[in-house]
Amino acid sequence: MNTYKLIIPIEPKPQSRPRSSIKNNRIIVREDRNMRVWRRACTMLVKNLYKGPFYETPIKVDVTFFMEAPEKLKKEPSERSRQSTKEKFIRFVKELIWHDKLPDIDNLVKSVFDSITKSNKVWSDDNIICYLVAKKVYSPNPRIEVEITEL
């Protein structure tokens, strides 16, 4: 089984909901501008960084979202801080604290998979993903890591 790891150095962003309005008796559906900008940047990063094979058969994808942490967690504790605070900071630096807040993991997966599919460099379509493992953790270095394995 061939495995390839892709690290996308961009802060994870969840897929936004399409916005709609009525103009001249027509329904107009559009994507959020910030989402379009993020997806374009993510797609370009994938095009420039990915050097692995092109997948057209069933694959397993293990994706980890390294999320920006709140200021309270990012702040290095002082010498006088409690031991538990120091231990929590060490776990944060080692990327061992689960991100159990919004955004939902399925929206993060959707946004990155759409960007990867649009790059036309990694897989033909994300429907070939038959096995998916997704995680999100706090990190001092926000990014997305995607590990692809042929089944």
Domain ranges of the chain: 3-150
Which tens digit of pLDDT belongs to each residue from 36-68? 999 999 999 999 999 999 999 999 999 999 999
pLDDT (0 to 100) of residue 38: 98
* Percentage of the chain exceeding pLDDT 90: 82
Distance CA 90, CA 143 (A): 19
pLDDT of 29 reads: 83
User: Is pLDDT of 28 > 90?
Assistant: no
| Per-residue pLDDT at 1 exceeds 80 | no
CB of 57 closer than 8 Å to CB of 150 = yes
CA–CA gap between residue 130 and residue 45 (Å, rounded): 24
Nearest to 151 by CA among 71, 56, 73: 56
Q: Is the pTM of this model over 0.75?
A: yes
Mean pLDDT (whole number) for 122-132? 97
Question: Which fold does the domain 3-150 belong to in CATH?
Answer: 60s Ribosomal Protein L30; Chain: A; (3.30.1330)
Mean pLDDT score, 121-128: 96
Spatial distance between the Cα atoms of 59 and 151, rounded to a whole number of angstroms: 5
Check if the beta carbon of residue 124 is closer than 8 Å to that of residue 50: no
> What is the distance between the alpha carbons of residues 76 and 42, in angstroms, rounded to a whole number?
30
| Of residues 93, 62, 60, 59, the one with CA closest to residue 75 | 93
Give the whole-angstrom CA distance, residue 4 versus residue 22: 45
The answer to whether the beta carbons of residues 33 and 104 sit under 8 Å apart is no
pLDDT at position 25 over 80:
yes
pLDDT of 32 over the 90 cut: no
Position 22 scores a pLDDT of 86
The predicted-structure confidence for 101-116, as pLDDT tens digits, reads as follows 999 999 999 999 999 9
Alpha-carbon distance of 151 to 147, in angstroms, equals 13
Q: Look at residue 125 and tell me whether its pLDDT is greater than 90.
A: yes
- Residue 70 — pLDDT band, cuts 50, 70, 90? very high
% of the chain at pLDDT higher than 70 = 100
